[in-house]
Structure 1
Amino acid sequence: MASLKPRNADGKIILSQLTKELFLKNIVQARQAQGEHLEHYDFNKSRCKVLSKNETVKSNSSGILYWMMRDCRVQDNWAMIFAQRLALKHSLPLYVCYLYKDVHKLCPTLRHLTFLIEGLKIVEKECKELNIGFYMLNSSAEELSTLIEKNNIGGVVSEFYPLRHPIEQQKRLLDKLPKDVPVVQIDAHNIVPPWIASDKQEGMAKFLRPKINKQLPEYLCGFPNISKHKYAGSLKNLTNHLRDLDEAYKHFSPNWDVDVVKWGDGPGEEGGLSMLRTFMTEKLKYYGVTSNDPSKDNTSKLSPWIRFGNYWYTTWISLDNLRCLKKSGVLGS
């Protein structure tokens, strides 16, 4: 991944000159540096877990489906990268589905709901620009399984989401899905997949941390770019399809006591990266001393963007950047 710029003669990052536009440009260039041909990208298969008995894409199929759950972004998303790579390898269209039914179990307040829907609008727009189908469905896992079967989907990519409701959803999909359709789970939320970090439940963070740090040289790496998909298509036999995402607000009434997020530049990757840049340039140098002082406004306030996977917190960083930040005094050694 390319290093952050601008830098002075000593190679230190000039944070005062790191504008939002320059920061975003750095990230785009870093993706491009990974190469444009995703079908030839050397994907680290240890990020994957095959949940189904069948491991190969069904022959003579009509597409690959990515079931988006908690990582609501297009770029810098290992699940999306794997799904597009798989679709390109088999010359198939790529479809992204988000199941809205029972979303109140994960988004109980107006703040949750608004951030989710407005972020998904950005995902929908990006998918359309990249020739990738995006579908928000007010459907259950069983109904998604029926849709997959009717559309002759050759493989399903899902996310690692270790909460009770998403785990139940994935189990219900597997129980209903035809046995010849493979389901692959990708950890798109952690730097090091938990099944790689440790093979047991750790009692204390101090025991887990060294294991994660040991794996960083392999897993803390740059992301290839999601490019315009070569193969177009559309899902048929759709039921409960929310063609206008604003319709989602009508399907249940959230807790109105928690208002919408009023800081930052709004949901989506760009909004999250803008908040990250603000934290880096204005607050990071004070964070180690004042992060536990509620009277000081020196926390990142990035939790909404991380919660909904609008951006990945290592988008901007590589091992080279980490070393440079330490040398510049922004991060401690």
Structure 2
Amino acid sequence: MSRKNSSEPPIKKQKLTSLFDELTEKRKNVADSITNFKFNKKRVKILSQATEVVKGSKGILYWMFRDGRIQDNWAMLFAQKLALKNRIPLHVCYCILPKFLDATLRHYKFLVESLEEVSMDAKKLNINFHLLHGEPNTVVLEFIRKHNMGALITDFFPLRVPMAWVESLKMDLPQDIPICQVDAHNIVPCWVTSDQLEYSARTIRNKINSKLQEYLTEYPPVIEHPYKSSFEVPEIDWLNCLNDVEIDRSVDKVEWCKPGYRAALIQLEKFIYECLPHYCEKRNNPHLEMTSGLSPWFHFGMISVQRVILEVQKYKQKYLRSVNDFMEEAIVRRELSDNFCLHNKNYDKIDGARQWAIETLNTHKKDKRQWIYDLKELETSQTHDDLWNAAQNQLTVDGKIHGFMRMYWAKKILEWTKLPEDALAWSIYLNDKYSMDGRDPNGYVGCMWSICGIHDQGWKEREIFGKIRYMNYKGCERKFDVKAYVQKHNGKVINIKALSQKKTTKKTK
């Protein structure tokens, strides 16, 4: 019996083509196209006064940024819905930025190789893909004016830089062109879940879970578009498209994660067959690596979280605790991060913490530090702590740190820097520069939780940390095989004699 016709999950691992083809057929069985699907309009926010596509226009433009995929993408589906309704071509653009925060060649290569796959998938469906170069608020505006686009569809991304681009476009676009934003990243749209800053997972959990039945649905297909472009679409020079970017080229790509939707499906299958059965008991053990590993693909939108949840839910009867725990992490905790960044303009600063945390960090600023490191020493893993060095090595080499170790990693940066402001800034910088899922709400919230106690409570007061939750080496030893983790990631302490002198010097100052 094939997977397609079976209600039971497969016992043996299937080939990628099986899952890829199964999902293709599944979408066709949901609806012939988005025009025959009951689209939930609450997924969309109209940001402009104009609400109708401009008559006589030459197409609909979807500016893709956070959700880099064709299928299982509500923003793409909504854009095609408008294009089909108005009988005009559909265009998709992605803007290659000269620089985006602390992204490096590692991230740009991963992105561009995936976009090449997106371009090929779009071409097969007669959807026109454009790789633009420059700041979106400039080049998207130019594209719309030059090619007479009748509406702009955008992704939702609650970080200040993307939000500023959208605001700029709202100001500068002709008033008759509607701008629609679609949250295709969260299962429950961020603005539907809550209109305020949530205190913790406890306060947002029911707001999300109570709406899952409405929003956790199957996707219809993006279909071959029947209307051809009225102008010639230029070929993309993929080999040279990064020549002009102003980024750090010393941090090159990692090998464990391959870009694109198809590679994401391979990772999803690996997670389901190898890790999901043990997820509830072993996911917090950094040495065993029983997490999904999907965060790079989630961050760049190469696969939708909604699709992953739909597939993982098939195993709920067999692995109830594991599926529930994964849904808590992938839905509640992740969407809580978006809520934090949307409603807190200081999502990456000490000022963004709760008042109790700001006060306790300020109170303990002048506490004596046994060890103090500068940014270069931290970045190159030159500390006295072999476990911390291993975590930093994992970050720089593999582009990831296990979630539990990232907490320990960030908290030790707080303990070993002169000021909590430095600790937060440096942890964000290192995460954004090296992690495959850097520059993401999850990353900012992870650092803010570890250093500033957001979404947490006050604990017993101690030096340096104040009431911020504390973690130490012995606690890690009780939780997992520290020696094995250190050995795996080459976390040995270099130049012990120099570190001993450094410790003595710092203590006598």
Same fold, judged at TM 0.5 (above): yes
The one-letter amino acid of 1:16's match is: K
Pick aligned residue for 1:139 from 120, 134, 141: 134
Cα distance in structure 2, aligned partners of 1:296 and 1:81: 39
Instruction: For structure 1, list consecutive stretches of 5 or more residues without a partner in the other structure.
Output: none
The residue aligned with 1:243 is 236
Deviation at 1:247, TM superposition (A): 2.1
Deviation at 1:273, TM superposition (A): 0.9
Which residues in structure 2 correspond to 1:299-310 (within 5 Å)?
A: 299-310=291-302
Q: Is it true that 1:204 corresponds to 2:200 in the alignment?
A: yes
The one-letter amino acid of 1:21's match is: T
SS state at 1:260 partner: coil
Pick aligned residue for 2:286 from 270, 279, 294: 294
Cα distance in structure 1, aligned partners of 2:38 and 2:114: 29
Deviation at 1:61, TM superposition (A): 1.1
The residue aligned with 1:109 is 104
SS state at 2:211 partner: helix
The one-letter amino acid of 1:137's match is: L
Tell me the percent identity: 37
The residue aligned with 1:229 is 225
The residue aligned with 2:29 is 33
Cα distance in structure 1, aligned partners of 2:130 and 2:177: 20
Q: Is the contact between residue 5 and residue 13 of structure 1 (CA under 8 Å) also seen in structure 2?
A: no
Instruction: For structure 2, list consecutive stretches of 5 or more residues without a partner in the other structure.
Output: 325-509
Query: Could you tell which deviates more after superposition, 37-46 or 196-205?
Result: 37-46
The residue aligned with 1:126 is 121
Q: Is it true that 1:84 corresponds to 2:77 in the alignment?
A: no
SS state at 1:200 partner: coil
Between structures 1 and 2, the one with greater helix share? 2
Cα distance in structure 2, aligned partners of 1:192 and 1:105: 27
The one-letter amino acid of 1:200's match is: Q
Cα distance in structure 1, aligned partners of 2:187 and 2:161: 23
Cα distance in structure 2, aligned partners of 1:303 and 1:328: 24
Cα distance in structure 2, aligned partners of 1:148 and 1:290: 50
Cα distance in structure 1, aligned partners of 2:284 and 2:101: 27
SS state at 1:273 partner: helix
SS state at 1:105 partner: coil
Cα distance in structure 1, aligned partners of 2:84 and 2:204: 37
Cα distance in structure 2, aligned partners of 1:290 and 1:5: 31
Cα distance in structure 1, aligned partners of 2:235 and 2:119: 12
| Larger RCO (CA within 8 A; separation ≥ 6) | 1
- Deviating runs (4+, > 4 A) in structure 1? 3-7
- Relative distance call for 1:31 and 1:286 in structure 2 (3 A) is same
Q: Is it true that 1:269 corresponds to 2:265 in the alignment?
A: no
Q: Is it true that 1:159 corresponds to 2:155 in the alignment?
A: yes
The residue aligned with 1:93 is 89
- Aligned Cα root-mean-square deviation (Å): 2.3
Deviation at 1:19, TM superposition (A): 3.6
1:50-99 CA distances to partner (integer Å, 9 max, x unpaired)?
01111111111111000011111000000000000100000000100111
- Relative distance call for 1:16 and 1:248 in structure 2 (3 A) is same
Deviation at 1:260, TM superposition (A): 1.3
The residue aligned with 1:325 is 315
The one-letter amino acid of 1:258's match is: V
The one-letter amino acid of 1:148's match is: I
Q: Is it true that 1:14 corresponds to 2:5 in the alignment?
A: no
What TM-score comes out, normalization by structure 1 length?
0.89
Cα distance in structure 2, aligned partners of 1:151 and 1:22: 40
The one-letter amino acid of 1:247's match is: N
Which residues in structure 2 correspond to 1:185-196 (within 5 Å)?
A: 185-196=181-192
Cα distance in structure 1, aligned partners of 2:225 and 2:102: 31
Q: How many residues align?
A: 321
The residue aligned with 2:387 is none
Q: Is the contact between residue 115 and residue 304 of structure 1 (CA under 8 Å) also seen in structure 2?
A: no
The one-letter amino acid of 1:244's match is: D
Q: Is the contact between residue 69 and residue 303 of structure 2 (CA under 8 Å) also seen in structure 1?
A: yes
1:19-42 CA distances to partner (integer Å, 9 max, x unpaired)?
433222321121111112322322
1:137-163 CA distances to partner (integer Å, 9 max, x unpaired)?
113313321321232211110011111
Cα distance in structure 2, aligned partners of 1:277 and 1:186: 28
Q: Is it true that 1:184 corresponds to 2:177 in the alignment?
A: no
- Relative distance call for 1:242 and 1:201 in structure 2 (3 A) is farther
Q: Is the contact between residue 34 and residue 221 of structure 2 (CA under 8 Å) also seen in structure 1?
A: yes
SS state at 1:249 partner: coil
Q: Is it true that 1:55 corresponds to 2:47 in the alignment?
A: no
The one-letter amino acid of 2:242's match is: Y
